[in-house]
Structure 1
Amino acid sequence: MTGPDLLAVCDVCLQLIDDGDGAVWCRPETATPEPPDEGQFLIEELLAAPDTRARWRVTHEECAPGEGYRIAVERIRTWPAYLHWTAHLMGKGWLAGTNWADLILDTLDPASTQPGIRPRTARDLGHRHVGD
C-alpha cells in the first residue's frame, strides 16, 4: 500500500493531521444566502464586499475542534472519497453558501502553499481541459 492520495494540513499549526486527529469542517448556519439579483452592481462594490460564505476549515482537534458539519480526515484521503463527499454535499441546500469550491480548486492547484487538503503528489494540470 502506498498511502493516501491526499494529505490534511492544519489551518492553525500548519502540520499534517493523522487519521483520528482532525476534520474538514464548517458551520453552515453561518452561511449568508446569495442576494437576489436586483440589477447591476458596480465592480468596485463587488470587490469591496466581504466574503460572507461559511468557510471550510481543516484542523487538528487540539488546534480548533471542528464545529458544525464535520468530515473526519481519514474519510476524505483519496480522490474518490473527495469526489464522493462533493457529490454528497451537493445535496445540501446550504453548500452554495460555503467556500467548498475554493477548497477543491486549491487542492487541485499544484502551486498552492495553503493548508487544507493537499495532494500527496502535486500534478501540474497545465490548464488543460477537464479529463486530459
Structure 2
Amino acid sequence: MAPGGVGWQTEPGGGGGPRRPRSGSWTGFQSLQNPNKPKKSHKDTVHRNVRMANSLRSEVIKLYKNLLYLGREYPKGADYFRSRLKAAFLKNKDETDPEKIKQLIARGEFVIKELEALYFLRKYRAMKQRYYSDDKP
C-alpha cells in the first residue's frame, strides 16, 4: 500500500511514514495487564447469567415443541399430555441459573427418549398381535 493510503496513518506534519505511538499511549495488551481494572461485581455475574439463560431460550423452546409433537400420540390423550407439559414448563419459567436450565433440558431430553421407547413398544405389540397368534401348540 502506498503511504497515506488505507492502513497507513501519516504524521500530521505530512512526514509520510507510519505514525509512531506516543509514549504512554494505549496498546492492545494494557487491558490484560491493568492491575487497577475493577473486579466483576455480583451484578455483572447476574447479567451474565441472564444472557446465558437467554441463549438457552431457543433450546428450551425447541424442547417444548418436540415434546408437544410427541405428546400427540400419548396413551392418555394429547390434551392430558399438553396440560402436564405446560404445567411443568411454567413451574420452571423463572429459572435463570444456566446450570439448572441445562439440567432441566437434559431431563426433558430424557423424557423424549422415554416417550420414543413407549411408542416403539406400543407399535411392536400391535405388530406382534397382528402377525403372531397367541395359540401355543
TM over 0.5: no
Q: TM-score range by the shorter chain?
A: under 0.3
In the superposition, the TM-score normalised over structure 2's length comes to 0.22
Structure number having the greater helix percentage: 2
Q: Which has the larger radius of gyration?
A: 2
Instruction: Flag the structure with more relative contact order, 1 or 2, with Cα contacts below 8 A and sequence separation at least 6.
Output: 1
In the superposition, the TM-score normalised over structure 1's length comes to 0.23
Structure number having the greater strand percentage: 1
